Amino acid sequence: MSDLNGQAREQWATRLGFILAAMGSAVGLGNIWRFSYVAGESGGAAFLIIYLLAILLIGFPVMMSEFMIGRRSQSDAVDSFHKISPGRPWFLVGGMGVAAGFIILSFYAVVAGWALRYLIAYITGGLWNTPSEGYGSYFGGFITSYQPIAWQFVIMAVTVGIVVMGVKKGIEKSNKILMPLLGILIVILAIYSLTLGGAKEGLSFLFKPDWDAFADPNVYLVALGQAFFSLSLGMAALITYGSYLPQKEKLPGAAGSVIALDTAFAVVAGIMIFPAVFAFGMDPGAGPGLVFITLPEIFNNIGGLGIVVGLLFFFLLVAAAISSAISLLEVCVAYFMRKFSMSRRATTIVIGSIIFLIGIPSALGVDPDAPLGGLTLIGGRGFFDSADFLASNIMLPLGGLLIAMFVGWTWDKSEIMRESDFGQSKLGTVFRWVLILAVPVAILAVFINSLNQF
Ligand code: PHE
């Protein structure tokens, strides 16, 4: 349990600390910003059903596998595979995870920067009144300017600062209070949103599937990608977090509670957004700006108090985003720190700077009218969408497929039973077969089905 420098490896102070940190990683922009906009673009209820199935069938077993690998190896994304399976190419899965961490954080910090920009506007008065051009154009004006880079920079600087402080002091403490507060606030806002006149349409959009939508292969890929993104899976973030776990922990309970909470956040966020979208006559398929144009309408509707609510909301959203950003950065830092025997501080600053630079084209390439909006990459998508598509819909599910196969196919039956904490129960056997067969087949089927996406 010591690292290369002979120091004792850091560990979570308490079991609750670990679960809270894993929850902090999972709950973030993925639940509110990304969930609403991809659900909105992909037809609502059909998407939601496939997303929930993906969470149960694929998300839970993959999360268990990541915790198991991390706890067993007590090491980082890449070295975990080296340690458990020396001389085999499985470490490449960890390498892909580190690469995905770079890509995701590069655009994640951009969106967290938007939320910070809105928070500041609720503090300084910029959003105390409805902008004369309307919220849609207000957002559009912002993302087509160069300003997002400055906000992205601030987010990266804060994230780097927290990761420099290390596992216990930095990561474990953040969000013990703020995440529950965000939960309470979105429940209240969801109830309020239902009173705005769009409840019927909003709820049927989210919960009443249009059966034709199931015929669209794209919905499956998008829902799968969203499940991975939202649960922080497929890129070794939870291997890395699991590696700070002491050996004796009950993993199924931990994974179950992280998943339940994360899913609840997403569904409540949907109930908060879609009734309002219909009440205000907006387009659910508005894209990445959806929550940034819908929420200010809701706050505006509340009246004077709405300013305080808006301020509180964006503050908590930024906090939730940062606790996720920390886990993304931690994957990269933990790896390079060991690889180059560098200090945590130096590694974090170097890696954080590189990720900031990679994110700049995303910051300037969200909208076709943005400075780099004309730049298109994968399947005609802009830079931001390409980075998101590649990392979230391809790399994460591919990582998850390989992680499940690594445990299911290369570990002994008895190892799987023991390391999963399922023991010799029926559940343990089911779990093992899900890893061996169900997860790989399901993910491959979705991939094959959506080859037209490139
Ligand atoms: N799960 C985080 C969110 O929903 C994002 C994330 C993805 C974090 C992958 C870590 C790894 O906001």
What is the best residue among 155, 230, 322 to mutate for testing ligand 1's pocket, by most ligand atoms within 8 Å of CB?
230
pLDDT in tens, 111-145: 999 999 999 999 999 999 999 999 999 999 999 99
Split at pLDDT 50, 70, 90, the class of 18 is: confident
Give the pLDDT confidence of 377-432 residue by residue, as tens digits.
998 999 999 999 999 999 999 999 999 999 999 999 999 999 999 988 999 999 99
Check residue 57 and give its pLDDT: 97
Q: What is the pLDDT of residue 2?
A: 37
Alpha carbon of 88 to ligand 1 centroid (Å):
28
Distance CA 428, CA 411 (A): 13
* Atom from ligand 1 closest to the CA of residue 26: 1
Most confident of 1-5, 178-182, 309-313: 309-313
Q: What integer pLDDT is reported at residue 189 of this predicted model?
A: 97
Ligand 1 centre distance from Cα of residue 413 (Å): 31
**Mutation to probe ligand 1, out of 326, 327, 392 (largest number of atoms < 8 A from CB):** 327
Tokens representing 369 are 């009218």
Please state whether 245 falls in left (phi above 0), alpha (psi between -120 and 50) or beta: beta
Q: How confident is the model at residue 59 (pLDDT cuts 50, 70, 90)?
A: very high
Q: Which amino acid is at 231?
A: L
Distance CA 414, CA 391 (A): 34
The pLDDT of residue 7: 47
Q: Which residues line ligand 1 (CB under 6 A)?
A: 25-26, 28-31, 104, 229-230, 232, 235, 237, 324, 327-328
Tell me, in angstroms, the distance from the centre of ligand 1 to residue 237's CA: 9
Q: State how far the alpha carbon of 52 is from the alpha carbons of 59, 230, 399, 412, in Å.
A: 9, 12, 19, 30
Nearest CA to ligand 1 atom 7: 232
Q: Is 175 helix (H, G, I), strand (E, B) or coil?
A: coil
- Residue 137 Cα to ligand 1 middle (Å): 28
Residue nearest to atom 8 of ligand 1 (CA): 232
The rounded mean pLDDT for the chain is 93
The ligand 1 atom at the shortest distance from the C-alpha of residue 396 is 9
Q: Which candidate, 8, 23, 440, places its Cα nearest to that of 238?
A: 23
Distance of CA 258 to the CA centre of its chain: 13
Q: Which residues contact 196 (CB under 8 A, 6 or more apart)?
A: 275, 276, 279, 280, 298, 301
Phi-psi region of 75 (alpha: psi -120 to 50; beta: other; left: phi over 0): beta
pLDDT digits (tens, 9 = 90+) for 69-92: 999 999 999 999 999 999 999 999
Give me the pLDDT at residue 383, please: 96
Atom index in ligand 1 nearest the CA of residue 29 equals 12
Does position 6 have pLDDT exceeding 50, yes or no? no
In contact, 64 and 271? CB cutoff 8 Å: no
For residue 4, report the distance from its CA to the centre of ligand 1, in Å.
28
Q: pTM of the predicted model, to two decimals? A: 0.95
Q: Span 100-110, mean pLDDT?
A: 98
Torsion angle defined by CA atoms of residues 25, 30, 35 and 37, in that order, rounded to the nearest 10 degrees:
170
How far away, in angstroms, is 109 Cα from ligand 1 center? 11
**CA 371 / ligand 1 centre spacing (Å):** 27
- Alpha-carbon distance of 135 to 147, in angstroms, equals 17
Hey, whose CA ends up nearest to atom 9 of ligand 1? 232
Proportion of the chain above pLDDT 70, given as a percent: 94
* Ligand 1 center–CA 108 separation, angstroms: 9
Tell me if 225 sits within 8 A of 391, measured CB to CB.
Answer: no
Please identify, by atom number, the ligand 1 atom nearest to the C-alpha of residue 231: 1
Give pLDDT, residue 1: 36
* CA-nearest residue, atom 6 of ligand 1: 232
Q: Is the pLDDT of residue 26 over 80?
A: yes
Atom of ligand 1 lying closest to residue 324 CA = 8
Q: Whose CA is nearest to atom 11 of ligand 1?
A: 232
